[in-house]
Structure 1
């Protein structure tokens, strides 16, 4: 199978996996949001930083090192597997003994027991991490799909059943653990890979030298990504954490569905053409424009329809999350571009530069948070938009040099899409205000607003001859 065929096949199955898992997860989240209270979601959101830190410490970037390594052998995989497994127990016991202090920090006594149970996913995830890595490297995304979906369905049944039975926040804990365990069991049953009793120090050093910089970068990213949850959880009520988390989760739906699909496929794809800068630049440029073509209008149309969207999906009790959601949508538009620029550094083996950029960005984030905190939650959220824009120029600096594709040229390529998406979102906002005067139902407002915004964006793209629009039309004609 050619590289192009692998990429298309991988993208097809990853799209199905991403949209099916996100679709199921989204429906389940709607059901749980109606059964549970915002503060119960807030309690789980407070653990996000600890789960993220534990995950980064375990992965240590070694999995990505395996993906970019040409022909790793059984000893490579086994060495990383044992490191992850032993590390998972160490990290879990650290979290176990720190649980009382986590509860004290947030002034939420029940977090002690919740933390100790929920963080068992470190161990179950470590059992399946290398299996996942092998499937990704081989671009066997169809097999991933047939493992992920049953696990998600089972965990969803457990979570909804427990929530309906009145178990509250514990339904979220049980759901997360069930999914992680189900994936691990299936990976071992359905995979022909087994670790050998070997730990090669030289191979570990090779992968660790590449991976530890990504680990430090991941730790910094986790700390500052969850900084908003930490601050809101420390100084505001758990319900506010729940509102923020719900807004951020909904914003991530289009971002993660579209950008993560391509991110998962493009990293091994980039790795296979990493020595051909001309080809790498061409692939990167097309992917970046294609992703933004979908992400930008979807986010801005959703932001314009925030009020009817939240009321229709989650009921009136979640309406305080709407302003958070609308601001977060603007901050999330450039996220895919950040990720793809950093992927260029990864495949080039420059994890040192990756870490350097993360240190610069996180220093910037810390300063912006410190300056915006006196203005409350909204100050923090608007600061996030400023952070995203500045991060664009930081992330594109080195990748631009490697590919001869500067920040300016990247901005020129994406600016037309951003302008047309903004016009579409503004049009939807104005039309929705008109519909409100006639007391139209939330569902009808969503249908009409989405249709109007989509049509306007596509017509403008065709009118101004947007390159991505023309490429999509050509692809459709060929099919």
Structure 2
């Protein structure tokens, strides 16, 4: 199969998986948000950083090395499997014994048992990480889709049932654990791969040499991605963590759907042409423009229509999250560009540069948090936006040199798309202002339809290249 056909096929199934699972998960989250209170979501938000740290350590970056390796064999896969499994058990017990300190830090006694149960997902997921990696390397996203959706539906139904029965935050805990369990069982049954009792030290060193830098980078990224939940949870009420977490998760809905789906395709795809800089640059530019073409108007329209959106989906008790969400929508526009620029370093085998950039960015984030926290939660979120803009220039430093495609050239290619989205967003805001006394659903439909028509009309008028590429993919 040609590179283009492989990309199109992969894009179809991975978008199906990403949008399918997110759509189902979104419906489940709406139901849960209407039953549970913000404080209960806030408790899960407080431990999200520890869950993320454990996940990064369990993965150890070795699975990324497997994807990048030209021809990994049974020894490669088995070696990584047993290392990840052993690591997951050690990490779980470390978190098990440190859980009381987490509870003391946030002044929430319930976090001790919540952390100990939720973190069982580390061990459960370690049993299936390699199977999932094999499917990604083979670009078999169709099978991933048919595994992910039943797992999500089953765990979601359990979570909703427990919430209706009055289990509160524990409905979220058991929903997370059951989703990992259902996914792992299916991956073992349906992929047909099982580990052999072997551990090759030489192969471990090969994968670890590449992967440990990604692990350190992932740890830094996890800590600082969740640092706002930590700061808010430490100095503000649990409800505020819930509002922030809800705003961030809704912002991530289009961001993660599009960027993660494309990332699943782009990484193995770019890895296959890692030595052809001309093709690599061309593929990167096309994917970058396409994702901005889709994600910029979605986030801007959602930000403009934030009030009716939160009121309709989550009820009035979640409206305090609206201003957080509007700022985070602006932050999310650049998020995919961070990932793709760093992906170039991975496929080039320069995980050392990846780690170096992560350290620089995290120092910057610490400085901005120290400056902005005096202005409250909104000050912290505005600081997050400023950090995202600066991070774009940092991330493009080395990838721009590899591809001869620097930050300013990238801005030149994406700025017309962002400007068109902002123009369409102004029309949506003007329309919604006149409809502010109408029902939320009417405001959402009217604003969304008008914004989409204006944006597509402007794209056609100005002959935006990404519009043509997007039409071709949809038609295929």
Q: TM-score band, normalised by the shorter chain? A: over 0.9
Please say if 1:283 is aligned against 2:283.
yes
Partner of 2:76: 76
Residue in 1 that maps onto 2:355: 355
The aligned counterpart of 2:171 is 171
Question: How big is the alpha-carbon RMSD for the aligned residues of Structure 1 and Structure 2?
Answer: 1.0
Query: How far apart are residue 474 of structure 1 and its match?
Result: 5.3
- What residue is the counterpart of 1:452 in the other structure? 450
Distance in 2 (CA, whole Å) between partners of 1:280 and 1:325 is: 35
Q: For residues 140-289 of structure 1, what are the structure 2 equivalents within 5 Å? A: 140-289=140-289
Residue 471 of structure 1: how far off its partner (Å): 3.0
Range moving further from structure 2, 111-120 or 461-470: 461-470
Q: Deviations over 1:423-470 (max 9, x none)?
A: 11122112111111xx21100000000011111111111222222123
Q: CA deviation at 1:187?
A: 1.1
The equivalent of 1:104 in structure 2 is: 104
Whole-Å separation in 1 of the counterparts to 2:273 and 2:195: 29
Name the SS of the counterpart of 1:172 in structure 2: helix
Equivalences for 1:432-443 in 2 at 5 Å?
432-436=432-436, 439-443=437-441
Structure 1 counterpart SS, 2:128: helix
**Paired residue for 1:339?**
339
Residue 369 of structure 1 corresponds to 369
The one-character-per-residue Cα deviations of 1:357-383 (angstroms, maximum 9, x if unpaired) are 101111111111111010010110001
Q: Which residue of 2 aligns with 1:462?
A: 460
Question: How do 1:83-94 residues align onto structure 2 when only pairs under 5 Å count?
Answer: 83-94=83-94
Q: Alpha-carbon deviation of 1:4? A: 2.0
- CA offsets, 1:220-242, max 9 Å, x none? 11111111000000000000000
TM-score with structure 2 setting the length: 0.99
Residue in 1 that maps onto 2:47: 47
Q: Offset of 1:3 from its aligned partner?
A: 2.3
* Deviation string, structure 1 residues 97-136 (Cα, Å, up to 9, x no partner): 0010000000000110111000000000000100000000
CA distance in 1, matches of 2:272, 2:181: 32
Q: Which residue of 1 aligns with 2:428?
A: 428
**Following the alignment from structure 1 to structure 2, what is the Cα–Cα distance between the partners of residues 130 and 252?**
26
* Alpha-carbon distance in 2 for matches of 1:417, 1:191: 41
CA contact (8 A) 2:271 2:347 kept: yes
1:260 deviates by 1.0
Structure 2 contact 8–473 (Cα < 8 Å) conserved: no
- For residues 61-84 of structure 1, the C-alpha deviation after alignment (integer angstroms, 9 at most, x for no partner) is 100000000010100000000000
Q: Name the SS for the 2:126 alignment partner.
A: helix
User: Matched residues in 1 for 2:81 and 2:70: separation?
Assistant: 18
Q: By how many angstroms is 1:209 displaced?
A: 0.5
Q: Secondary structure, in 3 states, of the residue corresponding to 2:438?
A: coil
CA positional deviation for 1:473: 4.4
Corresponding residue for 1:409? 409
